[in-house]
Structure 1
């Protein structure tokens, strides 16, 4: 299992297994993630689905115009259904175009009316690009107050949330969507339910990168031993 996990992570991180610094890069990325852990996992104004008190948290950065994000919605819903201990934090991260930014504004404004995830789901389930007017029509269909929605979506509160998400994403080198964080691992792309579940299973029992490196070093992996010794993982 652990071999499969780390190979998946390495592939997702776009690092060749033949590079001598693979484990070091993974370790240093994990340190970066840990430096931003509070902003990533515990911001009080984040939108959360699943088990709010869950022991494992998944953070997803997404863009409503991202076709891969649309496809990945079913995977995330399946993860929540299968794992009662999962807490999911959704971070609007509009990076594709100006329309993406408008949709992020509207979704957060919908959240101020208590319908964030319902609206989020409808937007992602809509095939292709969702225009502003299409998004307004969807909002009306699910019973949102349109006047309040259009007022709130321009508000400082809404735009500050998006700005904070983008600053955090840039700090963590999130350059595409979807991008997931589970403990100290960044999983880039719509990797599918199986890979997400493997990382969740491993996170439930281990400390992920640190733990993996130590175990690999103990089993005779020379590169892992060098990383363990260099950074004092013992």
Structure 2
């Protein structure tokens, strides 16, 4: 498969003791995560555990009350989403959000505007190679795509920036099992190319099948940190966390 991003040198994306408030109420209470390059890290937990809040804070959408994010050992500026993306962290938010009036190709070109024109065209071509299913839809408006096709476009939009780290919020939400399996394979391929992937899921089966490390979030706190294999071997940990929610 064509290499779609520049892995470069570095170590990990570190979220250190993040505290976030929403509507004046604390939502994250000192959340710490480590996402290693070349690996998939799963962040799982029940609805309302704080997973999406973690992603929005990482993306620069929500301000931190306390804590810090470090990118390969250096503080990551979280001033705005464009700044986060420019520093090498791309986020795929929940909800299959594409530009509905733009074609698939123009959706990808819009995401590549920070690149010089020749590089942007090359990056878009690489995305069609990564997702050949989108080639017949290249001139189709985003609003007419299926849910799975929209999710492919969203992931491709994130990857055209050639990130060092990629966070995907609810990869499998609302998608058919065959599409989820296809996207899970893409996530693994991206990680093999040296990108650190944070996969956020309410439904744990897919995330734990592709991840090396896992975190369980419970009411805004990390309730488990360890290998994905360990979490698969002890389903009572997840059961307890989901019951607590």
Global fold match (TM > 0.5): no
Relative contact order higher in (CA < 8 Å, ≥ 6 apart): 2
Larger radius of gyration: 1
State TM-score, norm by structure 1: 0.29
Higher helix share: 1
State TM-score, norm by structure 2: 0.28
